[in-house]
Amino acid sequence: MLDNKTYLSDDEAKRMICEIGRRVYNKNFVAANDGNISIKVGPNEVWATPTGVSKGFMTPEMLVKVDLTGKVLEGSRKPSSELKMHLRVYLENEETTAVVHAHPQAATAYAMAGIPLDRAYSPEGVILLGKVPVSPYAAPGTQEVPDSIAPYCTEYNAVLLANHGALTWGRDMIEAYYRMESLEHYSLTLLHTKKLTDQLEELSAERLAELIQIRENMGIKTGGHLISHEEALKLGANNDSHESSSVQVDPKLIQSIVAQVTEAVLKQLR
């Protein structure tokens, strides 16, 4: 298959990675040496962040160039062990040319709670992100990590990594970064809203269909299936119908736990 993509030059890619690194660091999406960023600059060439370096203090000469198997082509530093995730996205999704991994606090809270972002609450969430699933837990740096995200790479735009953080990708670096930024903004908005009320208004099937059409008109064909207001009601009814045969859980207890977790996260964000 011919590759007709227009890639950034090596210098452009390295400067872009450093710029996005500063942005994720300044926004507190990462701490210390957390996270990693990569850009594909050819059919089998990727520039990526090295291990053990703060994303807020990177310089172009620190970066490392690898092929899609992870073999180092240029650079004196060792690539991050989590680069396996990035390479798997590139192998699974031919349209992707950039990947961002970070630990934004609100999104990571959802990842730690194992809660996917699968409800249609806002136009921005539908258009920019779509459904954001949670991948199964995998030990950092192992082959389990790329295997855990592989099922989500073609249909979705982002994934929450169970107990770990978030991963976004895009057709260019700006799209990949914006998806990370949107993911955290949307997650934080939901946390604030749930602090006010448990009655979040979900978009109807008609409104959801309109937004998906807008999304497709923008050339975005991915995003998965979000749950509309009508589907949420049916889901609630189905849950009610199974209450007699399932383990009974005190709703007040659940509400108390959610409130405590939300309050702890929001304190960290202030």
Report the catalytic residues: 82
In angstroms, rounded to a whole number, what is the distance separating the alpha carbons of residues 261 and 258? 5
In angstroms, rounded to a whole number, what is the distance separating the alpha carbons of residues 256 and 1? 55
Task: Residue 177: name the closest of 190, 154, 158 by CA.
Answer: 158
Q: What is the DSSP letter of 121?
A: -
135 and 161 in contact (C-beta within 8 Å)? yes
In angstroms, rounded to a whole number, what is the distance separating the alpha carbons of residues 139 and 255? 30
Between the CA of residue 107 and those of 120, 124, 180, 189, 240, what are the distances in Å?
16, 16, 9, 10, 29
Q: In this structure, what token pair is assigned to residue 82?
A: 């989590």
Task: Residue 169: name the closest of 185, 148, 183, 188 by CA.
Answer: 183
Alpha-helix runs per DSSP H in 114-250: 123-124, 144-149, 173-196, 205-217, 229-241
Burial (CB count within 10 angstroms: exposed 0-12, middle 13-18, buried 19+), residue 9:
exposed
51 and 20 in contact (C-beta within 8 Å)? no
